[in-house]
């Protein structure tokens, strides 16, 4: 609105000044006589947002709703999308707060006709209709119109302490430039971080990169530990006012906490151990008594707490202020299974490469020599862990419902909401249980194994030692042998692994994978294991997966910040993989050597095809050679001559584009986006 209109509204309206439509609500009510009725349809935001609290209290205390039809998105077919969310209502001027109003929930209906049917059907009573007095709603924090709440839950808000009385919910820092100050943990040199001992103050002081809690996707109990933040010299650069960063609540940094993300209506709370800085998206709470931490985690992950939160945060954004007012019963320490829930979720998180506590492929831990058997055993273990956590969550819900005296809150947990990466119902919600889901689950497990194998080929991991081996800038084979003197499987010596269509190199990725399987699972079932891997990945020949799909999977797995980089000719006739942590300025020259060797072999094959009169094969080889020669002359040789330097501290987004067209194009990592 214009400045003049804004000034007029601020001066004229006591309760509806927050928005033009809310000013109309106040004006309309004041226009009618005492006990007169006002019927309107407006945006729904006045029902819930804190900015409209004064308007809500004025309505509930003096002009109680007779009817509210909560329509949500899609109430008008002519208005598409979920942006416009509405409510229709009738208010009675100068009415008592004891007035009982009827509230109709039509938010789940998808279109105008469906919502109209729900509203009409509510006249005779239905599950979508709720009766509430205005004074009952006044008792809720912020006087939100949580009309769906049970009387027991509303009473809990009055009878119990609020969470802010037993813990401090806090919002973390904002860097103002995440691209400069935040990294995925796997982008940087491991030794320049505190990841090995994040709780150790001495290690933190000596490290540039510290773990950062940045929120993340829906996951309960443990996980979403993806990022590190540049905190060199106690955050000296970030603390500079010129950066624009907001360093909020630093006295809470590095303490263990319960954290959540501020997106999505289905709240998920997680345990974070000592050593983390938390940012604005990784909001956290810190109990006044350390022993209450896991009890609060269990409580907040319960169905009763979720319903309590939905009353104060119904619009899919859970802020610090919402959590602060949640009612907390006085005997939370009786919750008994939270530590086990955290342990199950932690084991699940650490099973995958994107955890810095990952040790080795879970398939190897089964002790099976046939990969088929190992996959079956692993899936059974995943199902057992999912079943156990599912049981724990339902028991936790039951215990909290008893403590909060909310017996009407459902304690059942949908198995698809058990947020473990090993839970196939959670991982593949759109694929029904059966052959298709089995196929997808097996393919993903096998792809995890292939990714781990690539890590062993480069020395990032080892079959002989758990965890990361080579994860520092400039690491080489000698560094690996210092850690693993007599390896079962020796990493690639020159940090270049060719990926081409055909058996042109003795040390290409397919041959290296064969060697890996032999070392990891033995000789007896090698051919069977190779066939199982190929079949699981949906390819006839394993080479097809490496040539066509492996790098796409790697880029996706590592969140568009790949740690293995693919040198690739324009038409993909030549590909060579390197590990960025082992990169040296001479690495591109080594790739060039492989390219020239490949060209020499193809030229020899071309001569043979010409002598044999195999015109089709000769034409195919000529096209490949055109691609390779152009790649060498225009791209790879010039880049090799540059002796490019990289700095892992700068991150993949800065380093990857330095190689231009020499590397496989990845959207978002082009030179212009760096």
Q: Where are the domains of the chain?
A: 3-148, 167-427, 435-673
Residue 271 parent element (H or E): strand 269-272
* Other Cβ atoms closer than 10 A to 556: 10
Q: Rounded to the nearest 5°, which phi and psi values hold at 14?
A: -85, -35
Question: CA-CA distance, 2 to 166, in Å (whole number)?
Answer: 45
pLDDT confidence band for 265 (50 / 70 / 90): low
What pLDDT is attached to residue 674? 41
When pLDDT is averaged across residues 639-661 and rounded to a whole number, the result is: 97
- Cα distances from 408 to residues 138, 147, 157, 417, in angstroms, run 21, 15, 15, 20
pLDDT tens-place string over residues 485-523: 999 999 999 999 999 999 999 999 999 999 999 999 999
SS3 state at 189: coil
pLDDT category of residue 264 using cuts at 50, 70 and 90:
low
Percent of the chain with pLDDT over 70: 98
Degrees (nearest 5) of the Cα angle 260, 262, 267? 55
Instruction: Judge whether 374 and 362 are in contact, CB under 8 Å.
Output: no
Q: What is the pLDDT of residues 323-349, one digit of tens each?
A: 999 999 887 877 789 999 999 999 999
Task: Check residue 2 and give its pLDDT.
Answer: 84
32-70: per-residue pLDDT in tens? Answer: 999 999 999 999 999 999 899 999 999 999 999 999 999
Strand pairing category for 209-213 and 277-278? parallel
What SS3 class is residue 43? strand
pLDDT of residue 159: 87
What's CA 628's distance to the chain center, in Å? 39
**Spatial separation of the C-alpha atoms in residues 197 and 386, rounded to whole Å:** 29
In the block, which residue shows the tokens 């400069």? 180
Rg (CA), the chain: 30
- CB count, 10 Å around CB of 297? 28
What is the rounded CA–CA span in Å between residue 615 and residue 470? 47
Question: Cα separation of 451 and 553, whole Å?
Answer: 9
Q: 182 CB contacts (<8 Å, ≥6 apart)? A: 175, 212, 214, 227, 228, 229, 230, 279
Reduced to 3 DSSP states, what percent helix, strand and coil does the chain have, rounded to the nearest 5?
Answer: 50, 15, 40
Per DSSP, what are the bridge partners of residue 87?
A: 42, 70
What is the 8-class DSSP label of residue 177? Answer: -
Q: How confident is the model at residue 78 (pLDDT cuts 50, 70, 90)?
A: confident
CA atoms of 578 and 566, how far apart (whole Å): 7
CATH topology of domain 3-148: Rossmann fold (3.40.50)
| CA 379 to centroid of chain Cα atoms | 23
Query: How many whole angstroms separate alpha carbon 8 and alpha carbon 505?
Result: 79
Residue given tokens 């292939």 in the structure block: 450
pLDDT given for residue 313 in this prediction: 82
Q: Give the pLDDT confidence score for residue 82 in this predicted structure.
A: 63
Write the pLDDT tens digit of every residue in 348-387.
999 999 999 999 999 999 999 999 999 999 999 999 999 9
Residue pLDDT, tens place only, 118-161: 999 888 778 889 999 999 999 899 999 999 999 999 999 988 99
Give the global pTM: 0.92
Q: At what angle do helices 151-159 and 371-404 cross, to 10 degrees?
A: 70
Residue 28 to residue 480: CA distance in whole angstroms: 77
């Amino acid at each position: 609105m214009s400045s003049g209109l804004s000034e007029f509204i601020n001066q004229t309206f006591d309760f509806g000044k927050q928005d033009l439509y809310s000013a109309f609500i106040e004006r309309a009510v004041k226009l009618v006589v005492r006990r007169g009725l006002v019927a309107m349809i407006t945006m729904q935001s006045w029902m819930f947002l804190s900015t409209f609290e004064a308007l809500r209290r004025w309505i509930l205390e003096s002009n109680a709703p007779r009817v509210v039809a909560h329509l949500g998105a899609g109430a008008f077919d002519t208005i598409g999308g979920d942006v416009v969310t509405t409510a229709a209502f009738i208010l009675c001027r100068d009415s008592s707060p004891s007035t009982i109003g009827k509230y109709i929930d039509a938010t789940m209906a998808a279109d105008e006709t469906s919502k109209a049917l729900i509203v009409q059907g509510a006249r005779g009573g239905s599950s979508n209709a709720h009766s509430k007095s205005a004074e009952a709603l006044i008792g809720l924090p912020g006087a939100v119109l949580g009309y769906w709440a049970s009387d027991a839950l509303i009473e809990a808000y009055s009878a119990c302490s609020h969470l802010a009385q037993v813990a401090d919910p806090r919002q973390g820092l904002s860097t103002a430039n995440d691209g400069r100050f935040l990294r995925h943990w796997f982008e940087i040199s491991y030794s320049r971080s505190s990841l090995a001992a994040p709780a150790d103050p001495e290690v933190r002081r000596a490290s540039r990169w510290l773990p950062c809690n940045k929120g993340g996707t829906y996951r309960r109990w443990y996980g979403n530990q993806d990022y590190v933040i540049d905190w060199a010299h106690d955050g000296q650069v970030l603390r500079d006012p010129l950066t624009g960063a907001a360093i909020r609540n630093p006295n809470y940094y590095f303490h263990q906490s319960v954290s959540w993300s501020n997106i999505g209506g289905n709240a998920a709370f997680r345990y974070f151990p000592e050593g983390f800085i938390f940012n604005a998206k990784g909001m956290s709470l810190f109990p006044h008594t350390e022993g209450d931490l896991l009890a609060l985690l269990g409580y907040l992950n319960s169905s009763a707490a979720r319903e309590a939160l939905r009353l104060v945060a119904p619009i899919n954004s859970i802020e610090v202020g919402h959590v602060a007012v949640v009612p907390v019963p006085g005997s939370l320490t009786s919750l008994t299974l939270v530590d086990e829930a955290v342990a199950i979720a932690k084991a699940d998180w650490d099973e995958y490469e994107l955890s810095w506590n990952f040790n080795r492929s879970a398939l190897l831990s089964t002790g099976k020599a046939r990969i088929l058997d190992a996959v079956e055993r692993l899936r059974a273990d995943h199902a057992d862990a999912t079943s156990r956590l599912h049981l724990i969550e339902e028991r936790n819900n039951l215990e909290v419902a008893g403590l909060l005296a909310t017996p009407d809150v459902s304690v059942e947990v949908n198995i698809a909401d058990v947020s473990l990466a090993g839970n196939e119902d959670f991982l593949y919600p759109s694929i029904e249980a059966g052959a298709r889901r089995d196929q997808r689950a097996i393919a993903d497990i096998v792809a995890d194994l292939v990714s781990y194998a690539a890590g062993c080929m480069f020395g990032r991991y080892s079959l002989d030692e758990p965890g990361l081996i080579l994860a520092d800038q400039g690491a080489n084979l000698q560094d690996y042998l210092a850690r693993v003197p007599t390896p079962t499987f020796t990493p690639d010596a020159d940090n270049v692994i060719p990926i081409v269509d055909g058996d042109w190199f003795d040390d290409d990725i397919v041959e290296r994978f064969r060697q890996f399987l032999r070392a990891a699972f033995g000789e007896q079932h090698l051919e069977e294991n190779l066939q199982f891997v190929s079949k699981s990945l949906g390819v006839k020949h394993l080479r097809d997966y490496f040539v066509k799909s492996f790098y796409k999977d790697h880029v996706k797995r590592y969140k568009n910040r790949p740690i293995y980089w693919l040198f690739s000719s324009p038409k993909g006739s030549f590909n060579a993989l390197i590990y960025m942590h082992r990169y040296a300025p001479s690495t591109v020259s080594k790739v060039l050597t492989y390219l020239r060797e490949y060209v020499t072999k193809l030229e020899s094959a071309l001569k043979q095809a010409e002598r044999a009169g195999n015109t089709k094969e000769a034409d195919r080889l000529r096209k490949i050679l055109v691609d390779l020669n152009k790649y060498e002359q225009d791209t790879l040789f010039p880049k090799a001559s540059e002796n490019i330097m990289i700095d892992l501290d700068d991150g993949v987004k800065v380093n990857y584009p330095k190689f231009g067209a020499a590397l496989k194009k990845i959207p978002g990592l082009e030179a212009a986006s760096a």
